[in-house]
Amino acid sequence: MRALPRAADIDVLLALAAFGALLADPLLLHRVTGLTPVIVILSLLAAVPLVARRRYPLAVLAAEVPLLLACLAVAHPNRAAVGITMLLVFTVGLEGGRARSLLVGAAMALLVAAAVVLTGHRLGPVDFVAYMSLVLGALLAGETLRARQALQRALAEEAVRASEAAAQHRFDAERLALAHELHDVVGHALVAVNVRASAAARRARKGGAADGTGALDEIASVSAEALSELRTTLKALRSAQDGPAPLQPVQDLASLSSLIAGVEEAGLAVKLEVAGTPADLPAAVGHAGYRIIQEGLTNVLRHSTARQALVRVEADHRSVLIEVLDEGKPHPSADRAVGQAAGHGIAGMRERAAALGGSCEAGPAEGAGWRVRAEIPVAGARG
């Protein structure tokens, strides 16, 4: 691109070429026997404005028309005048607006063609139509090129907007996924800590053994596990920003035993029923299933009086079905449906399932209790 002449240099070359053509055309066609100072001056005046044709296309065309008419009257450079007019109307069509270029170009085509015919020798209607067609064709070529360039610019701008929108969508999706991870990790840990601390406080108020050391040990264990998961999540975020990092282990349906053990330490007995082979599921499906079960059990601890919950996992080659069911009643201090609607637990579970093409429902179970049911397809996640 650096080797190409600049547009201004090209216009200077075109002006020099036009000056030479205006001088040579009448000599070659034997319209004049020699060049006079008047012919040279008129030809120079008609060529100089071409230098500014790109910046002021209409002004240059308006200035050129009387100069070309004067040249035609004195020296009869018919072909050179038509060629210069074609260049100018092409520039008007390329640089100007559509309506303006059509009106101006059509008027100039008619005027120049008529002048060429009137000042020429042995020229008739056929020549008039031919010259006018050449000028109108140049105008149409300029207009076509202008429309094509405008379309290319519009497509390029649309591509940039689409790229920016895609980047923003990826950023929002990553931010939402991180928010889900932080919500699940911190929320589950805080609920477990709250349950343990509340149980110890109740025992102390009833006059029984406070067992403060045991409660503190459980709180320390839960908070340490939560901090470890939080560090893993933040490392994953930093690796996405700074480049590849060592893969960190993520929770999936094959590691439900540790989750259930922690929930049982908080005072909620959990019965686990597994059908199929959850360990063979794609990592995204297994992790989403783990988080849905974790959030479901956290909600039981937070909002229900239930002392026992059922977790059912059914996995096959098509999908994985997850259910979390309890038979408790809402805590007297806070209605479970109101408490969950005010938070992000159910919304987060639904979004996790929907991101993998699945669905998640949460609501009162038949008879009593609360049920969370999610179904996530496996085929799409493998692809």
Q: Both 11 and 145 in a single domain?
A: yes
Q: Both 263 and 156 in a single domain?
A: no
Task: Determine the pLDDT at residue 335.
Answer: 46
Q: What is the pTM of this model?
A: 0.49
Task: Determine the pLDDT at residue 240.
Answer: 54
CA–CA dist 303, 297 (Å, integer): 10
In a domain, 269, yes or no: yes
As for how many domains the chain has, the answer is 2
In a domain, 381, yes or no: yes
Percent with pLDDT over 70 in the chain: 70
Domain that holds residue 133: 7-161
In a domain, 70, yes or no: yes
Residue where a domain terminates, one of 161, 177, 200: 161
Contact 195, 267 (CB under 8 A): yes
In a domain, 191, yes or no: no
Distances (CA, A) of 6 to 3, 16, 178, 237: 9, 16, 52, 48
pLDDT < 50 positions in the chain? 1-4, 244-249, 334-342, 383
Residue where a domain terminates, one of 113, 140, 161: 161
In a domain, 109, yes or no: yes
In a domain, 232, yes or no: no
Please write the tens of the pLDDT for every residue from 224-275. Answer: 766 776 776 666 655 555 554 444 446 788 888 888 888 887 788 999 998 8
List of residues 6+ apart from 32 with CB closer than 8 A: 26, 39, 75, 76
Task: Determine the pLDDT at residue 167.
Answer: 81
SS3 label, residue 271: strand
In a domain, 26, yes or no: yes
* CA 43 to chain CA mean position, Å: 55
Q: Both 135 and 267 in a single domain?
A: no
In a domain, 216, yes or no: no
Residue where a domain terminates, one of 128, 161, 194: 161
